[in-house]
Chains A and B, each alone.
Chain A
Amino acid sequence: MELMTNAALYQYLALGAVLFAIGLVGFMSRRNMIMIFLSTEIMFQGVAINLIAFARYHLNADGQSFVIFLLSVAAAEASLALALVVLLYRRRQTLNIDAWSEMQG
């Protein structure tokens, strides 16, 4: 195993940033509730790449441990979000997020 160079680290960080930005675009522009939550998963993947790249750079297992927690939080988030989507779909028979735009505090 060789030590990672700064240039290699920066490449992975740039990729993570690009994936995060793409996920953010999807999160804000899609109108389907399922697609909104799928976009958050793209953002999770970008962050996971960043954490693993730093773990590799510092040869430290902390980053990998954080990704384990990130994955469990992502799984919890996905299950709760999809349960909410099913609930909301039953009420209005549509996945359009605009159907709930009059919702207030």
Chain B
Amino acid sequence: MDCTLLIAVALGALGVFLLLPRAQASWRKLGALITVLVGGGGLFYLSRWAELQESAAPAGGLSLYFYIFAAIAVGSALAVISHPKPLYAALYFVILTLATSALLLTLYAEFIAIVLIVIYAGAILVTYVFVIMLASTPGGAPAAEYDKVSADPLIAVLVSFLLLATVLQLMFHVSGPGSPGFMNTNTGLHARALMAANLGYHLPQFSGIKTPAVGGMAVLGRNLYSHYALSLELAGVLLTVAMVGAVVISRKNEPPAALGSGELPTE
């Protein structure tokens, strides 16, 4: 049995465990080194594996951009969870959002990519930064004790990387290449092409299927407003309820002095 994947995940778990905020800061550098090595090795292994699959069944190209932005995304995600100062973590999260939206662009989801930047980097992150500034010690103060030392890093890393190992093992070994379920030769290609043609996508290599050239955004809009019209309205209701709830929850709980006293203020 091929244990490379499990060993890589275990090493990654060790690296992340050392990287998490702790009292002895020197261990964090070792953790960062291990994590970078494992991450780089993992990406290299993934690219070799993909090349192998491509040579078995060539179709389409593998994008170099995927590896670049995947490295940026994973690195900044690790920085978010391990940086002792919340404000810097929030800024690293902006980098993660930009890398994710670049990855979505490689998947031809241009509308979602822009929406991700507008909503996450523009709206949600600004709210986070405001709350961080509202609820933190005045400038120049060192990071709080609860930010410098993490709680139960061993249990957290064990549970998460056990989940990751299970998922990756299932993906690459149980249902992966060599098993009957894996579509190694891209079976169903024609069926998928037909389905795509029905949705209005233009596929040049399937010249037998004539379709109008339609971009992804028009397809998304049609799908959203025909199949999911009711759900879209419900999403609007959800946002309204959340907004009202947030206002009610965060309101200061002072007795309204001017109201309800029934008397006009006297001079």
The reply to whether A7 and B53 contact each other, CB–CB distance below 8 Å, is: yes
Tell me how many residue pairs across A and B have CB atoms closer than 8 Å: 284
Q: Which of A64-81 contact B (CB under 8 A)?
A: 64-65, 67-69, 71-80
The reply to whether A21 and B163 contact each other, CB–CB distance below 8 Å, is: yes
Any chain A CB within 8 A of the CB of B141? no
The reply to whether B160 and A52 contact each other, CB–CB distance below 8 Å, is: no
The reply to whether B249 and A25 contact each other, CB–CB distance below 8 Å, is: no
Interface size on A, residues (CB 8 A): 78
Interface size on B, residues (CB 8 A): 107
Choose among B144, B171, B204 the residue that contacts A96 (Cβ–Cβ < 8 A). Answer: B144
The reply to whether B228 and A4 contact each other, CB–CB distance below 8 Å, is: no
Any chain A CB within 8 A of the CB of B196? yes
4 further interface pairs, Cβ-Cβ under 8 Å (given A59-B192, A75-B239): A11-B62, A42-B80, A64-B223, A86-B134
Would you mind naming 23 contact pairs between A and B with Cβ atoms under 8 Å apart? A2-B60, A3-B192, A7-B53, A7-B62, A22-B16, A24-B159, A29-B150, A31-B147, A32-B147, A34-B132, A35-B89, A48-B112, A61-B224, A64-B216, A65-B220, A67-B112, A72-B238, A75-B239, A80-B245, A86-B135, A87-B249, A96-B144, A96-B146
Q: Taking beta carbons and an 8 Å cutoff, which residues of B are in contact with A?
A: 16, 20, 46, 49-50, 53-54, 57, 59-63, 66, 70, 73-74, 77-78, 80-81, 86, 89-90, 93, 96-97, 100, 103-104, 107-109, 111-112, 115-116, 119-120, 123-124, 127-128, 131-132, 134-136, 144, 146-147, 149-153, 155-157, 159-161, 163-164, 167-168, 171-172, 176, 182-184, 186, 189, 192-193, 195-196, 199, 201-205, 216, 219-220, 222-224, 227-228, 231-232, 235-236, 238-239, 241-243, 245-247, 249-250, 252
